[in-house]
Amino acid sequence: MTNILRVESSIKGEASVSRKLTDRIIARLTAADPDATVTLRDLSTGVPHIDGAWMGAVFTPAGTRTPEQADRAAYSDALLAEVRAADTLVIALPVYNFGVPAPLKGWIDHLARKGETFQYTEAGPEGLLKGKRAIVALSSDGTKIGSEIDFASGYIRHMLGFFGITDVDFIAADQMVFGPEETLQKAEAQIDALAA
């Protein structure tokens, strides 16, 4: 049985193109594996920012945290547990102002914990979340994926790789302003061609 973690970050609700793409990706994956479980993490309502109190909490061993630290670390620990339990991550990536939405960046910040998702070795950093697959559904009005003004897809690929997730597929409904119907059809065809 496959565990799928679906991560949404668009603030557009039902009008979101990235959400339409993740709907289709989830439908494809669950059709291929009807026993798959899907956990939804919707970041669109906001993600608490990390700060000094958060750092003190998450880097204190769970058994020795104060009640305040335990409360502060609980959200971050829940996000980490969801990613650890997942075999496949389906991540919505709407491009806002050439980059990732703030809630998605916040999610990554909560996950970037030394000793949990990565470690430093003599050979350099090593990701600790190996053996997982990620499918990223990118949507944008004017930014072309992989272009010099795309600061979103490269960042997501880098951070996933930093965590040890190197099996990453991108589905792109990019530059929607130049032909929304054709662009969406192209992205849907990419989804239909995905290995499930």
Q: Is 18 annotated as a binding residue?
A: yes
Rounded Cα–Cα distance for residues 159 and 127 (Å) = 10
pLDDT at 196 (0 to 100): 73
The pair of structure tokens assigned to 47 is: 């993600």
Q: Domains of the chain: which residue ranges? A: 3-192
Q: Is 76 annotated as a binding residue?
A: no
Amino acid letter, residue 176 = M
pLDDT band at 195 (very low <50, low <70, confident <90, very high): confident
pLDDT at 1 (0 to 100): 81
Q: Per-residue pLDDT averaged across 110-132, rounded? A: 97
Q: Output the pTM of the full model.
A: 0.96
Mean confidence (pLDDT) of the chain = 96
Q: pLDDT tens-digit profile of 43-70?
A: 999 999 999 999 999 999 999 999 999 9
Q: pLDDT tens-digit profile of 8-34?
A: 999 998 889 999 999 999 999 999 999
Quick one: fold of 3-192?
A: Rossmann fold (3.40.50)
Q: Per-residue pLDDT averaged across 90-97, rounded? A: 97
Q: Is 9 annotated as a binding residue?
A: no
Q: Count Cα neighbours of 105 within 13 Å in the Cβ-side half-sphere.
A: 10
Q: pLDDT tens-digit profile of 163-172?
A: 999 999 999 9
Q: Count Cα neighbours of 180 within 13 Å in the Cβ-side half-sphere.
A: 5
Q: Count Cα neighbours of 91 within 13 Å in the Cβ-side half-sphere.
A: 29
pLDDT at 14 (0 to 100): 86
